[in-house]
Structure 1
């Protein structure tokens, strides 16, 4: 059973690590419903991505606080779309966007991540990076990866970055998707999946 930080006692903070909003504190919730990516994991993920994030269009599938999407924006992403089913999470996302003064480059959509991503893909909207950091053990990763196999929301050469518990295996990837890297950080694994249209 993965351990979760206790966010119940008081409102917590996370920070933008580098870029134009470097050091800015992001508000995170008091509840267990959102599990923000730890700073050390986030820093490693973005070190791996490197300069590819500059000018990229980014999809934050399970936005939570907007942590990953706003770090992308701070590091030079051109536009970020945030998805979350929770109104409270989206309230935090909007608040953090305003803190970063990133309103002109950000969009917030409410709904189930697989359904919204499929709708965006059907409308011809494709992304260079999609971050998939859902609640653990709920089947969300399987749904997102299955969607890539039938209606990709990524451009050819785009990356799905998945954060999962070390206790859960990555599902089988559909044709056109390649696991290019997996990194473990304690009980967390981050997978980099490249979408190459056949």
Structure 2
């Protein structure tokens, strides 16, 4: 069972998605990821997007650590149920808000019209191709601004993801089978 590591809801247990259609982020990876985000000071009052939400553990951790709002996105019905349960549980102790979207990540990024995100978690199934990740990141560039941080979780065996114009990798960290790619928006170079 997953849990909130730190913040106002630290120690709170979270519902998992039943079955083996999702791959939860391990506590070890989650702890390292959020330690880095805390060091970047991007979580306090942040608008967060949790794509391929699974149980919503990453977005819930962000809420516990001071995020103002989290949009959770997944299309798998059992994941949506887990996210709704976990978001409702956290809603009792955190001041941030959340919204659950039952749709694909590609559809969300294509149709989203709200405020830009400060932090974006992209944790797709490892089988999702790098071409699909590239297209998703391309659509996502319209929804992030300078200072935003995108965290892409992939299999260590996956090739390095290609990034569209306007995004640049600034850090990478490997944890066993998992690699985290840290990406930020950049101004296009003048030609």
TM-score (norm 2): 0.89
Q: For the structure 1 residues 163 and 47, does the alpha-carbon distance in structure 2 shift closer, same or farther, using more than 3 Å as the test?
A: same
Aligned pairs, how many? 182
Secondary structure at 2:14 match in 1? strand
Which 5+ residue runs of structure 2 have no aligned equivalent? none
Distance 2:48 2:139 in 1: 17
Distance 1:113 1:89 in 2: 13
Decide which moves more: 78-87 or 93-102.
93-102
Distance 2:4 2:17 in 1: 16
Q: For the structure 1 residues 145 and 15, does the alpha-carbon distance in structure 2 shift closer, same or farther, using more than 3 Å as the test?
A: same
The correspondence of residues 147-158 of structure 1 with structure 2, limited to 5 A, is 147-148=139-140, 151-158=141-148
Q: Give, in angstroms, the shift of residue 125 of structure 1.
A: 2.8
Who is 1:82 aligned against? Answer: 72
Q: Give, in angstroms, the shift of residue 197 of structure 1.
A: 3.9
Aligned partner of 1:118 among 110, 116, 120:
110
Distance 2:96 2:173 in 1: 33
Establish whether residue 136 from structure 1 lines up as the match of residue 126 from structure 2: yes
Distance 2:171 2:151 in 1: 10
Which 5+ residue runs of structure 1 have no aligned equivalent? 1-12
Who is 2:164 aligned against? Answer: 174
Who is 1:7 aligned against? Answer: none
Distance 1:129 1:76 in 2: 12
Q: Is the 8 A contact 1:82 1:107 kept in 2?
A: yes
Aligned partner of 2:97 among 105, 112, 122:
105
TM-score (norm 1): 0.86
Q: Give, in angstroms, the shift of residue 170 of structure 1.
A: 2.4
Runs of 4+ in 1 over 3 A off after TM superposition: none
